[in-house]
Amino acid sequence: MSASLPPIRRALVSVSDKSQLDVLASILIQHKVEVLSTGGTQKALEGEGVAVVKVSDYTGAPEILGGRVKTLHPKIHGGILALPNESHQGELELHGMAPIDLVVVNLYPFRETIAKPGCSFADAIENIDIGGPTMVRAAAKNWPRVAIVVDPSDYAQLGEVLAQNEGRLPESFRRHCARKAFAHTAAYDAAIATYLMRHDDAGEDAGAESLGAELFVTGVSEQELRYGENPHQKARFYACNFAADEATGLDQAIQHQGKAMSYNNLLDADAALGLIRDLQPHAPKAAAVFKHLSPCGAAVGKADEPLAEVYEKARLADAESAFGGIVSLTHEVDAATAEKLVATFLEVVIAPSYSAEAREILAKKKNLRLLEIPRMFEGGQRPLRLRSVAGGVLAQREDIIAVRAADGEQKGKRAASADELVSLDLAQRVAKHVKSNAIVLVKDGVTVGIGGGQTSRVEAVRQAMRRAGEQAKGAVLASDAFFPFRDSIDGAAEAGVSAVIQPGGSIRDEEVIAAVDEHGMAMVFTGERHFRH
């Protein structure tokens, strides 16, 4: 059917995104294509020297309802949907219609509109395109005869293919365009459906963090990964539509050097980014080191403390585990910090920026991946976290710590000191990122022992104590959930721990508080559990 298609003779062009329209205009002129268009697109094409037939003149029907109805007409959709067979061609001739061979359409800027501060519900609704998606879907359905182009970045390829095929568009190109077109309308509809679910019947915002009865996830491939968690698993990284109004993620990272990011690198980088974001608002400077989705070291420093020293404290918290790790930092990497970074084998470094001197030093490690996220600490709604299970997908908003240690409820006879509260706050923020059961010890603004992923909380305490060794003396302890028995407190006291932060809520809380008082320790209840399964 498609092998005998004639050259492109007639195109319909209606675009909201008018970028690269000069490229398209040149192609249409070169191949002597008759062009149908409307409104702003018509004027823009005429400004580029294209002879344009106004759609309303072509159809004999005026634009109505303030422009809501322009292309919804049998002469338009008959021309798009007709197959190149005798029956359809006869009907076109009978009704005075002509085939449309090329449709170039992109849609009202719905997502851009709702992203604007102060966008009203009425403005959002008015930017739901109807005629555009209808033409896109019609052309994509009829890809054996019609080509549909929805992306201005494809204009150049369109011109190349036409030039190589004497003005014709091969089936392979039309099929490629159809796939992209259906993905385009699917993502557009998903954005609209998600927006509407976030608003109540009166059009009032129901809260960006609300989860509706349906979940719509669309994504565009950022890169094909060499493999997944293991070499025999295929994998890709997709930038997802629902992340558009979230804090900047890894899809916005600028990679300056090193090998391509792997599946495991991306998982670890996301975890390291999450922890540094938890630390940054509450510490003048901070550094975190991750390995296999678990923090192995974190440190906070004063405003005038060199970043290099803060990073070094985080690395030395567990230098053995830091080998091959992922580092995240709150500030621009300077030359001194770069010298510290290259002293250890690392996989990835994440920072808001890098000085020229630092980039030169880090370039010595050719395989080290440098990720720059300039807006990594800007606000945005909490990320939506998805996990698959057999038969479905789980969705939840990212966990946050709402209660600082200083705002928690002091329990027992001794209140925590100001210094202890600072360390307790760091400890609970790190514990949030450790697999449950999670226990974190902090001393002088640095993690000294981390126990996680244990089936017993008391074993997690033992693990953290073993890692801390003598450093446990005078340290503070955070637990991601309540203590069901006093045995963990007794073990911590024996090692020299001075203060504890935990959610509370056990039926044996009084027993645990009594243990704290017996050992002269301080304890803070936050009322928040922070499991990470």
What is the secondary structure of 494-513 as a DSSP string?
HHT--EEEE----TTHHHHH
Tell how far CA 36 is from the center of its chain.
39
Q: What gap in Å lies between CA 179 and CA 266, rounded to an integer?
A: 28
| Beta-ladder partners of 500 | 477, 523
Q: 498, 504 in Cβ contact below 8 A?
A: no
Tell how far CA 389 is from the center of its chain.
21
Largest CA distance in the chain: 97
State the amino acid at position 104 in one-letter form: V
Compute how many other C-beta atoms are within 10 angstroms of the C-beta atom of residue 472.
Answer: 23
Q: What is the 3-state secondary structure (H, E, C) of 396-461?
A: EECCCCCCCHHHCEEECCECCCHHHHHHHHHHHHHHCCCCCCCEEEEECCEEEEEECCCCCHHHHH
Backbone angles phi, psi at 19, to 5 degrees: -65, 145
Q: Residue 250 region, left (φ>0) first, then alpha (ψ -120 to 50), else beta? A: alpha
Q: What gap in Å lies between CA 216 and CA 203, rounded to an integer?
A: 20
Q: Would residue 141 show up in a list of annotated catalytic residues for this protein?
A: yes
Compute how many other C-beta atoms are within 10 angstroms of the C-beta atom of residue 165.
Answer: 13
Q: What gap in Å lies between CA 522 and CA 497, rounded to an integer?
A: 10
Q: What gap in Å lies between CA 58 and CA 75, rounded to an integer?
A: 8
Q: What gap in Å lies between CA 132 and CA 12, rounded to an integer?
A: 11
Q: Would residue 282 show up in a list of annotated catalytic residues for this protein?
A: no
Q: Which of 54, 88, 282, 292 is catalytic?
A: 292
Task: Report the alpha-carbon angle 499-501-503, nearest 5.
Answer: 155
Query: Any residues with CB less than 8 A from the CB of 123 and at least 6 apart, and which?
Result: 113
Q: Which of 54, 141, 176, 180 is catalytic?
A: 141
Q: Cα dist. 80→10, 75, 184, 256 in Å?
A: 10, 9, 18, 46
Q: What gap in Å lies between CA 24 and CA 227, rounded to an integer?
A: 38
Q: Which two tokens stand for residue 234?
A: 């295929």
Tell how far CA 45 is from the center of its chain.
36
Q: 440, 478 in Cβ contact below 8 A?
A: yes
Instruction: Catalogue the active-site residues.
Output: 141, 292
